[in-house]
Structure 1
Amino acid sequence: MRNDVGEATYRLDWQEVRHDWPAWIVLLGSFIAGVLLYPSLPEQVPIHWNIAGQVDGYGSRAAGAFMLPALNLGIYCLMLFLPLVDPNRANYARFLGFYRGFRVLMTLFLAVLYAITLLAVEGLQVDVGLVVTLGLSLLFLYLGNSLGRVRHNYFVGIKTPWTLANEEVWRRTHRLGGRLFVLVAVLPWIAWPFSRTAAFIVLIGGLVLVSAATVVYSAVLYHRIAGR
């Protein structure tokens, strides 16, 4: 992955996409499952659950069979192609391991949500709250442990006006954000024995607080650095 002057950069070629083979299997399997199960699906398919894990939204047979696989494929393709138009495209080569892993994890997470839909149609009981909370916690844990390696770019990471304007602010904000994401991943399991609903609220509330904290931190840090 090197450009014409010998510097490492992001390229969308076989050497890059071959690492995503688990995602290909999941995506292909999802569409095959949709095609095979479509004739037997009911006219109304559960597609949304509330915070208590109860179905509160239904969609058509086509939506139940293909909406999540199509969304999953679209997000995966976006993650492949967006770096190509990033002005800081070369920086992706510095965190490719993380980026590849995140592509696969996102694909697996959405495939699990799709599996929950199919199982619900079959009348099988699935602890949706546990699955979603666990899945999001694992994603945030992965993000938290790797965020400090993400280099300056316009699509991946904590993008505020101040992190985009200054690479030192970017670096220090991502280092703090990584620690906070790990905390967000762990806190729901402290609340889980008391209430599953509370655990999910802690998870989402923690994400909101981390987002706000990194925005404020990056702004304060930028003005402090600018005032030196």
Structure 2
Amino acid sequence: MRTVHRLAAAAWLVLIAAALSAVAAPSLPERVVTNWDAAGRPAGTLPRATAVWLSPAIMAGLVLLLAALPRIDPLRENVAAFRPTYDWFVVALTAFLLVVHAGILAFNLGYEFPFTSLLVAAVSLLVYYVGAVLPRTERNWFMGIRTPWTLSSDAVWDRTHRLGGRLFKLAAAVGVAGLGFGEYAVPLLVASVVAAAVVTAAYSYVAYSRIEGDGDGPSGPGSES
């Protein structure tokens, strides 16, 4: 399957979101609930027209932006090496936004369900997918764990992303488990994702110091024991 076909799948998801908005709009209230607190209580609204069309517009903008980024990446040759992975991530991210958009419409049409639980489950699945994707990425400027140390060394990039893949999968598991803890589900998911990101970023520095050397030890990709 070519890149254009994979990105077309993302475009179709945007069109589905727009179609759902068009169908639901006449039945929605003047003010549409778009925000919930950690306990699942509505916490914010937007005017109907804004709420209905904002999500499809954001989805369309993201697809266009993410489709363009590989063309301007200074390391575009590396992106080409994992381009199918990149494209499917665009599709997965668009699908996530579609699920959230459909959930908002359904809730405001009167279908009662714990929206926060839907959001935590959807985010957890996306985080797990990120964990699965990270080890397959090559060094680039727009996707992955980009620190000064990963961007300076292929070896550091590879090792950091292998660790990041495991940690983000673990964070996703914590997020799913958190669904059994009511209003603590959101803080558990956020804390686990932040911890995975911080630990992975810190590890990239440690890995760089060991692999490349910082003046106190051996340098070179083969120097780490």
Aligned to 2:48: 61
Cα–Cα, structure 1 residues 199 and 38, in superposed 2: closer, same or farther, change >3 Å?
Answer: closer
Aligned to 1:141: 128
- Which sections of structure 1, spanning at least 5 residues, go unmatched? 1-13
Give the structure-1-normalised TM-score: 0.87
Deviation track 1:122-175 (CA, whole Å, cap 9, x = no partner) reads 111122122111111111211212211100000000011111112211111111
Match of 1:206 among 189, 192, 216: 192
Q: Is the contact between residue 27 and residue 73 of structure 1 (CA under 8 Å) also seen in structure 2? A: yes
* Secondary structure in structure 1 of the residue aligned to 2:44: strand
Partner amino acid, structure 2, of 1:85: I
Aligned residues: 214
Q: Is the contact between residue 178 and residue 185 of structure 2 (CA under 8 Å) also seen in structure 1? A: yes
Match of 1:156 among 143, 148, 153: 143
Q: Is the contact between residue 6 and residue 91 of structure 2 (CA under 8 Å) also seen in structure 1? A: no
Partner amino acid, structure 1, of 2:29: P
Question: Is 1:127 aligned to residue 95 of structure 2?
Answer: no
Once residues 103 and 176 of structure 2 are traced to their aligned partners in structure 1, the CA distance between those partners, rounded to angstroms, is 21
Give the structure-2-normalised TM-score: 0.88
Partner amino acid, structure 1, of 2:84: G
Once residues 133 and 183 of structure 2 are traced to their aligned partners in structure 1, the CA distance between those partners, rounded to angstroms, is 28
Identity, % of aligned positions: 36
5 Å-filtered alignment, 1:98-137, equals: 98-137=85-124
Once residues 196 and 59 of structure 1 are traced to their aligned partners in structure 2, the CA distance between those partners, rounded to angstroms, is 26
Aligned to 1:92: 79
Q: Note the aligned Cα RMSD (angstroms).
A: 1.7
- Which sections of structure 2, spanning at least 5 residues, go unmatched? 219-225
Q: Is the contact between residue 116 and residue 126 of structure 1 (CA under 8 Å) also seen in structure 2? A: no
Partner amino acid, structure 2, of 1:93: A
